[in-house]
Structure 1
Amino acid sequence: MVFPAFRRSLRLAPLAGATLLLAACASSGGGTKPSAEANQLYAQLDQASRGYENAVSQARAGNTQAAQQTLNASLDQLKSAAAHCPSTPGCDSQRFFSAFDRLLRLKDGNFSLGDDLGAMGDEVPEGSESGKTGAASLPEAQRSVTLLRGQQLSQLIAMNGPVKAALEMWLTQWRGNLMDAYINYQFLRYQMWPEYQKADLPEALLFGILAKESGGKVHAVSRSGAAGPLQFMYATGLRFGLTTEDGFDSRFDPAASARANAEYMDEQLRAFNNNLELTLAAYNGGEGRMRRMVGDNTSVSLYDPTIYNQLSQETRDYVPSVLAAAWLFLHPESYNLRFPRVDGAPGSIALKRPASLTELTVCLGSAAGMSDGWFRTLRNLNPRLDPQVSQPAGVRVMVPKVLEKPYEARCTDGPWPILANDLHTAVLPVVPPSPPPPASSPSRSSNSGKTRSYVVRRGDTLTSIVNKLGCTSVQEVAEMNGLNHQHIKPGQSLKVPACR
């Protein structure tokens, strides 16, 4: 699967090649006074950084040959200085990491400075852009929107402890979720990205929210009732035009939810004076609560103890997770991450024979190299269709364009649609309903009709009260007092059966 490619006149060498050398410095002493040798390394670092900046300027001016030469020399100097840091007394590795972070921000989104993956032994299909992934793989006209209210998105992402911790999670325990989210997003991109593009919002931000909220699963519903790929609560969705029509909740519509999300972000960015961290916290924890916390001080950092200590743990985790996913979308190669190349071009098929989405999934198999199958993608692209319900011939089903030919070859005739239908229409044994349980009776006898009162003490539960009385059942006490879910509180007076 190949993401749509484009041609650029400039190929620049990788920054990521220096990261392993930088990591080797991590154990060197940061609190020791730098030696003369360490100061020489710092001087080389500064010189390499200036050279890198010059290369960026030359590239943007169109002087590609000079830019390439300047960049190669600068990166060689940076790698050499980093390699000598561990064995140099007083060399502070943090200075090298800080330089690396600053150079990442310098290249953000304007043109690719990522790894030349083709040089690493990976086969790169003809016409692709050296295997670039993430924002580096997007066409220039679309990649240009990495600005948020006139500022580079990377400049608004503080590389602090919470964001670094979230980066590690996305690169380790959540890595599978990140990859799934990226693949899902590429097939939904043609519906969702234009809505962000109209609002002049960065695509990386859209991906970060999508990855954290639903992983790109259009039909996701949270325990709190938030629904859709961007997890709108019902009332908030209504406020931004996400209604229910003909039984379909438009929170599940990718384009509609992206439009509503862009409108929400635009509204809250204005309310919080373009403070991205506060805006994301409002999206997760509620704008009313965030406005009460912040008051008129919209320049306050989310991590200011007066704000941070009032946030729920969910919101404390949510904001850096979104920002870290957005950062990786912009700079995957710089973190030894390679997103899969995905051909997300939209297409459609007119069913030649009745079929459900589940049947189509079976007969399509792993077409176009999708080892996990196409069920999630078909559901995402057809949110109004029940995947288990057979659609009549002639119905148009949205599919990735790469599936149009496999559908004709595999699903219109032959053994696969027959097998898929046989599995789908399999008859399950009918199990008769269980008879209703007999009416429960108290485990211990009580005087019929006679009651007394009991005042709930701290630490009491209905079970402990019943055991203490020794003459009734939990259900009987709950029914006598009209208790829902057996909730009681200290000081409450309960009616309980009297013992014989």
Structure 2
Amino acid sequence: MRVRICDRYPPGSPVVPVAMPLPVCSPARLAPLAFATLVVLSFDAAALSRRDQAAVGALSQRMQAAEARYREATVAARNDDPGARQAADGALEDMEDVITACGKQRGCSMPNMLAAFKRLLKSNADASPVDEDVDTTLVDESIGGGVPNAAEAASLLTEDNERFKRMVQYNPAVQAGIRRWLTDMRVTLIQSHENYQHMQHLMSPAFKRSGLPEALLFGIMAKESNGKVHVGSRAGAVGPLQFMPATGKRFGLGPDGTGFDTRYDPQSAANAAAAYLNERFRELDSNIEMSLAAYNGGEGRARRVYRESGGRSFWDADVYNQFPAETKDYVPMVIAAAWLYLHPKEYGLTFPKVDTRQATLKLARTASIYELTICLGNGGTRDGYMRVLRNLNPRYEADQAIPAGTTLNVTTKMVGLYNRWCAQGERADLARTLVASDPGRAIVRTGAPVPAAKPAITETAPAPAPAQPEAAAPAVPTAAAKDSKKKSPAPREYRVQRGETLTSIASKFECRIGTLADANRVEGPRYMIRPGQRLKLDGCDGEG
């Protein structure tokens, strides 16, 4: 649009009072962004010092530059520019920094800044056609799966962040939790974030659809499992969000008829957690602390305490002291992790960005996750790919042989590493040898020692006793006897030792794992056995 700006507000002036009409003096063409950022303040500029005016103007310019970079990154992404994702991430982070700085700057109107930001991003979203079959709550796939689309970016910077702040109390207990996450538990928190990035596309949509803060999901996951899908507790809770069997069953989790427990599945677990928390919110007046107390300490207890206290806060002494020590620790720790997820920069915390672009991989040869982890190598990562493989493929145990032709969920980088190192070749063979190795075979059995010969009888000795039958004398094993021993049939039963799995036992006794599982009624795909259990070795050829 064309406007004329009076000399009183020359080009570059940091503010224009929105309550006054714009005088027309000289023509200028202002982009929607420039106009939006000019109307940052809603009061007379005379009320501000020159320093404050300059600071507000600088924030406006930073917002304009960041928005322009975001648009350029979007175009670059459509042209498959590999640097587009990083550029867009940086632009969105700058926008968030501007909004944070605006809240601390005298004279900077936060509502106007946010309104301008949301209008600008929405115009970008409206310019792109939307496929009705695509879930728009997910990230923009055109930018590598790591940059939110325009509407979502606005939500991340306003609704999720601000609403979570309003819903929880930031108090000394939460501060103590933040201190713990940032000191002895810092590595755990960072690992939780890395694990979550790989599962975010599976887990976050459930919370967004339910109107729950994504930060809350991260906080629960970090505290419950550190983002490790196969974690289990002594009480029987399993999965990334640690559902007990009975609670999981209420919300659609449990054995699916194929031997797999869907409590281990990140997407199913997130759907169940969102449903569970919304049920608690309805009972507990949307109180996050009490809902978290129910998640950890039991919904019956939380419901009773809340009702008897008249709906008082979790932090009320009479309420707080009715929960066990574990729950008193759990609630502030979850909130602290969620808080750090939303405000890492304020605490000098950097969450590493990982390449989470999703892909599928068809196995060229039978392999286990252990074997794939070895042959894939580090691939530029710190920890390698075992956790990613397990989290994205929860149906398989780490030592389970996965048949050739099976399709696994991986990242695009892992596909390239697999084709280079795991499909065939020396490293693939080495990985197979290492996984199949049996420590028990390192023990050498040499047989019982042969007794020394009896001393000869002298002439002066008393008459010897009647000769003993030859069978009673120890005999030195002959070669034929040794051959006979080697050809003896394999034992029909075997007692499971600590640390052994059905896969390692099948390898030890040279039999197929499926045959061994059928003979002992062990269900796949997990093939769970316990130390001391006796297994029938039907169909096994080796002697162990």
| TM-score calculated relative to the size of structure 1 | 0.62
- Give yes or no for contact 1:10–1:59 (8 Å, CA) kept in 2: no
Q: Could you tell me how far 1:51 is from its partner in structure 2? A: 2.4
Q: For residue 51 of structure 1, what is the aligned residue in structure 2?
A: 106
Which of the numbers 321, 329, 348 marks the counterpart of 1:317?
329
Take 1:262 and 1:63, find their aligned partners in 2: how far apart are those partners?
27
Secondary structure of 1:379's counterpart equals helix
Q: Could you tell me how far 1:402 is from its partner in structure 2? A: 2.2
- Give yes or no for contact 1:145–1:200 (8 Å, CA) kept in 2: no
Q: For residue 175 of structure 1, what is the aligned residue in structure 2?
A: 186
Secondary structure of 2:410's counterpart equals strand
Q: For residue 385 of structure 2, what is the aligned residue in structure 1?
A: 374
- Give yes or no for contact 2:207–2:271 (8 Å, CA) kept in 1: yes
Which of the numbers 274, 293, 305 marks the counterpart of 2:286?
274
Matched, 1:355 2:410: no
1:81-92 equivalences in 2 (<5 Å):
none
Q: For residue 241 of structure 1, what is the aligned residue in structure 2?
A: 252
Q: Could you tell me how far 1:377 is from its partner in structure 2? A: 1.2
Take 1:3 and 1:204, find their aligned partners in 2: how far apart are those partners?
26
Q: Could you tell me how far 1:147 is from its partner in structure 2? A: 7.8
Matched, 1:205 2:260: no
Q: Could you tell me how far 1:375 is from its partner in structure 2? A: 0.9
Which of the numbers 297, 305, 323 marks the counterpart of 1:285?
297
Take 1:321 and 1:392, find their aligned partners in 2: how far apart are those partners?
42
Which of the numbers 257, 276, 290 marks the counterpart of 1:264?
276
Q: Could you tell me how far 1:274 is from its partner in structure 2? A: 0.5
Matched, 1:326 2:409: no
Secondary structure of 1:320's counterpart equals helix
Deviation string for 1:105-133 (max 9, x for gaps)? xxxxxxxxxxxxxxxxxxxxxx899xxx9
Q: For residue 71 of structure 2, what is the aligned residue in structure 1?
A: none
Matched, 1:142 2:197: no
Distance 1:150-1:163 versus aligned 2 partners, 3 A rule: closer
Q: Could you tell me how far 1:197 is from its partner in structure 2? A: 2.0
Deviation string for 1:311-347 (max 9, x for gaps)? 1111111011111111111111111101001122221
Distance 1:366-1:9 versus aligned 2 partners, 3 A rule: closer
Query: Partner letter of residue 253 of structure 1?
Result: D
Matched, 1:401 2:412: yes
Matched, 1:344 2:427: no
> Following superposition, which runs of at least 4 residues in structure 1 exceed 6 angstroms of deviation?
15-18, 146-151, 431-434
Q: Could you tell me how far 1:427 is from its partner in structure 2? A: 3.0
| Greater relative contact order (CA < 8 Å, ≥ 6 in sequence) | 1
Deviation string for 1:192-211 (max 9, x for gaps)? 11222221211111100000
Take 1:149 and 1:397, find their aligned partners in 2: how far apart are those partners?
33
- Give yes or no for contact 1:217–1:228 (8 Å, CA) kept in 2: yes
Query: Partner letter of residue 57 of structure 1?
Result: N
Deviation string for 1:263-288 (max 9, x for gaps)? 00110001101011100100000010
Distance 1:2-1:290 versus aligned 2 partners, 3 A rule: farther
- Give yes or no for contact 1:208–1:324 (8 Å, CA) kept in 2: yes
Take 2:84 and 2:350, find their aligned partners in 1: how far apart are those partners?
13
Take 2:421 and 2:273, find their aligned partners in 1: how far apart are those partners?
38
1:449-488 equivalences in 2 (<5 Å):
none
Q: Could you tell me how far 1:154 is from its partner in structure 2? A: 1.5
Q: Could you tell me how far 1:300 is from its partner in structure 2? A: 1.3
Secondary structure of 2:249's counterpart equals helix
1:428-447 equivalences in 2 (<5 Å):
428-429=439-440
- Give yes or no for contact 1:170–1:325 (8 Å, CA) kept in 2: yes
Distance 1:358-1:279 versus aligned 2 partners, 3 A rule: same
Q: For residue 60 of structure 1, what is the aligned residue in structure 2?
A: 115
Larger radius of gyration: 2
Secondary structure of 1:301's counterpart equals coil
Moved more, 332-341 or 244-253: 244-253
| TM-score calculated relative to the size of structure 2 | 0.57
- Give yes or no for contact 1:145–1:202 (8 Å, CA) kept in 2: no
Q: For residue 193 of structure 1, what is the aligned residue in structure 2?
A: 204
- Give yes or no for contact 2:99–2:110 (8 Å, CA) kept in 1: no
Which of the numbers 206, 229, 232 marks the counterpart of 1:221?
232
Deviation string for 1:354-411 (max 9, x for gaps)? 21111110011011x2221111111111111122122222111111222111111111
Take 1:402 and 1:304, find their aligned partners in 2: how far apart are those partners?
51
- Give yes or no for contact 1:15–1:334 (8 Å, CA) kept in 2: no
Structure 1: 5+ residue stretches without partners: 19-46, 66-126, 435-500
State the aligned residue count. Answer: 338
Take 1:406 and 1:370, find their aligned partners in 2: how far apart are those partners?
12
- Give yes or no for contact 2:199–2:392 (8 Å, CA) kept in 1: yes
What is the identity percentage for the equivalent residue pairs of Structure 1 and Structure 2? 40
RMSD, aligned α-carbons = 3.4
- Give yes or no for contact 2:263–2:269 (8 Å, CA) kept in 1: yes
Secondary structure of 1:205's counterpart equals helix
